[in-house]
Amino acid sequence: MKKNLLIAVLVIGMLLSGSVAALAAGSGFKFGYIDLQKVMALSNQGAVAKQKMKAKQEELRGKLQKRQTEIAAMKEELESQGMMLSPEKRQEKENNYQKKVRDFKIFVSDSEKEMKALEGEFLKKMLKELEVVTAEFGKANGYELILEKRSGIVYADPSKDITDQLIKAYNKWVEKNKKK
């Protein structure tokens, strides 16, 4: 039973893909595809997002290094003076050191979350903008269908790749809408 169902699904899929191919070839059906990763990497907005991400990363890296230096100094002090301190004072310094280490681990975790959230924010904004730009670009240039390269396309004629054209359209759209 499962085998027959699988065969039926495959036959229907082949018929549908053949129908789409025939439609595309016969009726002047215009389609293209884009490489979304490339658009995000090479567009002006992508460069701005990358620059802001790098600046935030550098800021967090500076804070991390400062905290690491403080922890290393505390550890060195504890090791060098440990034998000379009273048991209570030594315990107090060890507790402070361990608290700093825990705080550092929490800070690292929070920093990673903050970077992921910032990346997600940029990604969400760009995807929303690209949805608008792609629709405008498709309508203006007579496309019936624009696909994303990594979402199911196994092969497509390289002449149907409109990524570079979309990057230019996106850059123009951003400039035009930045002034508003």
Environment class of 34 (CB within 10 Å of its CB; exposed 0-12, middle 13-18, buried 19+): buried
Total-model pTM: 0.69
Of 180, 33, 41, which is closest to residue 123 (Cα–Cα)?
41
Q: What string of pLDDT tens digits covers the 180 residues of the chain?
A: 444 443 543 335 444 444 444 455 555 789 999 999 999 999 999 999 999 999 999 999 999 999 999 999 988 988 888 778 888 888 898 999 999 999 999 999 999 999 999 999 999 999 999 999 999 999 999 999 999 998 888 888 999 999 999 999 999 999 998 875
